[in-house]
């Protein structure tokens, strides 16, 4: 068997080593490009983290750097989302990263909330439930609290709530003169009870959820998906979702972006949390 010259072994080892370095550097680049945590999303949005993932503080030269934020803001969008146009993204970045009046996210502000898609069993049958969480101050810190829930299976309990017109289902304005003896009519048909509720009432599924859970009818199975709704930036709403894919444009990214005024934001919040 012929001996392989030492110089060839050295060159082969060098080539393998070089390839490994290049591969590692490529993987490292992707690792740094991915936004792996919501806290990191905040830091990158605000320019409070450098390109290697190191946390920046207000005494660091690059803290809130406009140049650094321009780099990060451009990679915080889901570039495959059909809901975000290139023009909207550019205008948003320009307004957020304005040199004279830059805009930042505040983790402890109440103008953002989490939406968690979960699976329960309800009387032993599978049931999908959306849970909404917000941050609440607790002594020296904060905690996530359940603020609302939505389940389509609970909708029938609120049939006709808010309906202002019904040919038969109403209490006459002089009912008080009869000591409300006509309440029998109101409670005769359970499916029509919503007609008798004040127009401004907003269905509260959270109360119903807590009742069913405490009585043992609801059993938690798993949480399946999480996304966040942000209303902090003036005149804008955006949604952040997680994308698990083998490319730089992955992790926690802005998946929806809409220009809205304050009133439109209130309506959107009510729509997302199904308070209408």
Per-residue model confidence (pLDDT) at position 80: 92
Residue 252: C-alpha distances to residues 76, 89, 227, 233, 247 (Å): 8, 16, 9, 18, 13
**5 part of a folded domain:** no
Residue 256: C-alpha distances to residues 12, 38, 76, 104 (Å): 50, 16, 11, 18
Q: Where is 32: in which H helix or E strand?
A: helix 6-33
What is the torsion angle, in degrees rounded to the nearest 10, for the CA atoms of residue 89, residue 91, residue 95 and residue 100? 130
Number of separate domains in the chain: 1
Within 10 A of 262 (CB to CB), how many other CB atoms are there?
Answer: 9
- Write the burial class of residue 269 (CB in 10 Å: 0-12 exposed, 13-18 middle, 19+ buried): middle
**182 part of a folded domain:** no
**50 part of a folded domain:** yes
| pLDDT tens, N- to C-terminus, the chain (276 residues) | 444 444 433 334 433 333 333 333 344 455 467 899 999 999 999 999 998 889 999 999 999 999 999 989 999 999 999 999 999 999 999 999 999 999 999 999 989 999 999 999 999 899 999 999 999 999 889 999 999 999 998 988 888 877 766 678 888 899 998 899 999 999 999 888 888 888 778 778 999 999 999 999 999 999 999 999 999 999 999 999 999 988 888 999 999 999 999 999 999 988 877 765
Alpha helix (H) residue ranges in 158-273: 183-186, 205-214, 262-272
Per-residue model confidence (pLDDT) at position 164: 61
Model pTM above 0.85? no
| Residue linked to tokens 């008798």 | 196
**244 part of a folded domain:** yes
Distance of CA 13 to the CA centre of its chain: 49
Boundaries of domain holding 100: 38-111+236-257
Per-residue model confidence (pLDDT) at position 247: 83
Per-residue model confidence (pLDDT) at position 276: 54
- Cα distance from N-terminal residue to C-terminal residue, the chain: 83
**213 part of a folded domain:** no
Per-residue tokens: 144 = 């996530």
């Amino acid at each position: 068997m012929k001996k392989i010259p030492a110089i060839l072994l050295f060159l082969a080892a060098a080539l393998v080593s070089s390839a490994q370095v290049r591969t590692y550097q490529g993987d490292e680049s992707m690792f740094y490009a991915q936004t792996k945590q919501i806290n990191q999303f905040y830091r990158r949005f605000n320019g409070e983290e450098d390109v290697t993932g190191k946390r920046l503080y207000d005494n660091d030269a690059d803290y809130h750097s406009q140049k650094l934020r321009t780099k990060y803001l451009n990679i915080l969008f889901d570039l495959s989302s059909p809901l975000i146009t290139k023009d909207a993204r550019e205008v948003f970045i320009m307004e957020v990263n304005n040199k004279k009046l830059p805009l930042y996210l505040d983790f402890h502000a109440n103008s953002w909330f989490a939406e968690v898609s979960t699976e329960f069993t309800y009387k032993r049958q599978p049931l999908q439930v959306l849970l909404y969480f917000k941050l609440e101050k607790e002594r020296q810190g904060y905690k996530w609290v359940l603020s609302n829930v939505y389940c389509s299976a609970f909708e029938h309990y609120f049939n006709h709530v808010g309906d202002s017109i019904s040919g038969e289902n109403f209490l006459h304005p002089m009912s008080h003169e009869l000591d409300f003896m006509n309440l029998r009519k109101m409670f005769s048909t359970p499916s029509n009870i919503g007609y008798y509720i004040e127009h401004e009432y907003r269905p509260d599924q959270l109360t119903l959820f807590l009742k069913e859970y405490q009585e043992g009818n609801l059993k938690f199975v798993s949480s399946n998906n999480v996304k966040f709704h942000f209303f902090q930036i003036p005149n804008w709403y955006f949604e952040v979702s997680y994308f698990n894919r083998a490319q730089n444009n992955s992790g926690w990214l802005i998946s929806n972006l809409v220009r809205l005024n304050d009133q439109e934001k209130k309506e959107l919040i009510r729509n997302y949390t199904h308070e209408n």
